[in-house]
Amino acid sequence: MSQHLDKKPRKTVNQQLKKEMILKNNLFSRYLLFRYSLALFFFINLYWLLPFLYRPNVYLILPVILLIVIIGACAEQFKLYGAKEIHLTRTRQALKIQVFVQICLLVVDILPQQLSAAFPFFSDSLSAHVICALLQFFGLLICWYNLKRIKQINKNEDKFYHRFHNHIEKYI
């Protein structure tokens, strides 16, 4: 008889733990875009840094700073798992710094003879300038969308939050 009474509390404890894990995992999914965007920018900046290891110049500073800031933002992303309060300050800071560097690189793209110094793997041709500008605009678009999502998440106005709390949470 005591075994039968002992199974009920275990079952409710297991259900409660399962419910908490589902809640944590689903709320952590809100930050999926940031994790992928940060990973994308990390590897782009790492790829940008590699040629400077062979021929260092002043532009070496930019990818190094960006990599350090992005690593801090990635650490913040790991801390968000299971967190009740939302703190995306490092992620926002990393994206804003990335925007600043993207804009500076657009200016560098306009300056004569600077494209091949900033990007050693590009020649100083018109097509390289156009490709570089398009890549910078694409990076700006990604950053802008991420910053917009951060504002929505901080205010709990994102679609995932509403969908989760209005539909999914009832069934957990």
d(CA 138, CA 5): 61
d(CA 40, CA 8): 47
Counting the structural domains of the chain, the total is 1
The 10s digit of each residue's pLDDT in 21-37 is: 766 666 667 788 899 99
| Predicted pLDDT at 137 | 97
With contact defined as beta carbons under 8 Å apart, do 24 and 82 qualify?
Answer: yes
Does position 8 have pLDDT exceeding 80, yes or no? no
Which is nearest to 28 in space by CA: 164, 123, 131, 120?
164
In a domain, 9, yes or no: no
Domain range holding 97?
23-164
The 10s digit of each residue's pLDDT in 48-77 is: 999 999 999 999 999 999 999 999 999 998
In a domain, 88, yes or no: yes
In a domain, 76, yes or no: yes
What 3-state DSSP class applies to 31?
Answer: helix
| Predicted pLDDT at 168 | 54
d(CA 49, CA 68): 12
> In the 8-state DSSP scheme, what is residue 165?
I
The 10s digit of each residue's pLDDT in 106-118 is: 999 998 889 999 9
Q: What is the mean pLDDT of the chain?
A: 85
In a domain, 14, yes or no: no
In a domain, 8, yes or no: no
Q: Greater confidence, 159 or 91?
A: 91
Give pTM, 2 decimals: 0.81
The least confident of 6-10, 15-19, 53-57, 68-72 is 6-10
Distances (CA, A) of 34 to 19, 38, 96, 129, 132: 25, 6, 13, 28, 23
| Predicted pLDDT at 38 | 96
